[in-house]
């Protein structure tokens, strides 16, 4: 599953104005869930780490429910969709079902301009409001080393050929 870098996003209150955003995904076979660790640098320059757990819908594999592991929101399940995943697992689009939030993620913090443009265009085609899509800065200090993760996210995400790309309509 491994590390994924947020390169563009329509952010939530929690990740607005942050930089160096990276997600680490680890499959927990004992609970059949995905441990999600989000690392970033706040606007004030402070490192931040948030841990969540994702329950993956077995029927779709593209619909996840994230639950924070601490705080007042711990009992709340937040739905997310793996709206698109590149066939080679080099990039993906994660979005909220209402299309009010989206994260464009890659295996590297510095994808090529053509890769980035392709996924931004896919966001537009999926109905996300591009006026709010913002780049996430990744220069300077790092939240962790980049690594080559050539796997298929543990088989949890299966690219769908054609224009559908695993999107589940609400």
CATH numbers and ranges of domains, the chain: 2-151 (2.40.128.20)
Where does the pLDDT of residue 14 fall: very low under 50, low under 70, confident under 90, or very high at 90 and above? confident
DSSP assignments along 78-137, one per residue: EEEEEEEE-TTSSEEEEE-TTSS-EEEEESSSS--HHHHHHHHHHHHHTT--GGG-EE--
The answer for residues whose C-beta is within 8 angstroms of residue 96's C-beta and 6 or more apart is: 79, 80, 81, 102
Tokens encoding 119: 């996924």
Torsion angles phi and psi, residue 128, rounded to 5: -80, 145
Q: What is the predicted pLDDT for the residue at 153?
A: 37
**Least confident span in 26-30, 73-77, 123-127:** 73-77
The string of pLDDT tens digits covering residues 98-118 is 888 899 999 999 999 999 999
Where does the pLDDT of residue 1 fall: very low under 50, low under 70, confident under 90, or very high at 90 and above? confident
């Amino acid at each position: 599953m491994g590390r994924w870098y947020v390169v563009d996003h329509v952010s939530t209150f929690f990740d607005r104005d942050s930089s160096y955003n990276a997600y680490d995904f680890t499959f927990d076979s004992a609970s059949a869930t995905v441990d999600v660790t989000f690392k970033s640098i706040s606007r004030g320059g402070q490192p931040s780490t948030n841990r969540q757990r994702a329950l993956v819908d077995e029927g779709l594999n593209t619909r996840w429910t994230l639950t924070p592991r601490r705080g007042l929101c711990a009992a709340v399940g937040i739905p997310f969709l793996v709206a698109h995943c590149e066939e080679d697992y080099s990039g993906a689009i994660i979005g909220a079902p209402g299309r009010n939030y989206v994260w464009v993620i890659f295996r590297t913090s510095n994808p090529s301009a053509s890769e980035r443009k392709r996924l931004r265009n896919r966001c537009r085609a999926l109905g996300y409001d591009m006026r709010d899509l913002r780049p996430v800065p990744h220069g300077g200090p790092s939240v962790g080393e980049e690594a080559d993760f050539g796997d298929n996210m543990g088989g949890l995400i299966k690219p769908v050929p054609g224009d559908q790309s695993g999107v589940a309509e609400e």
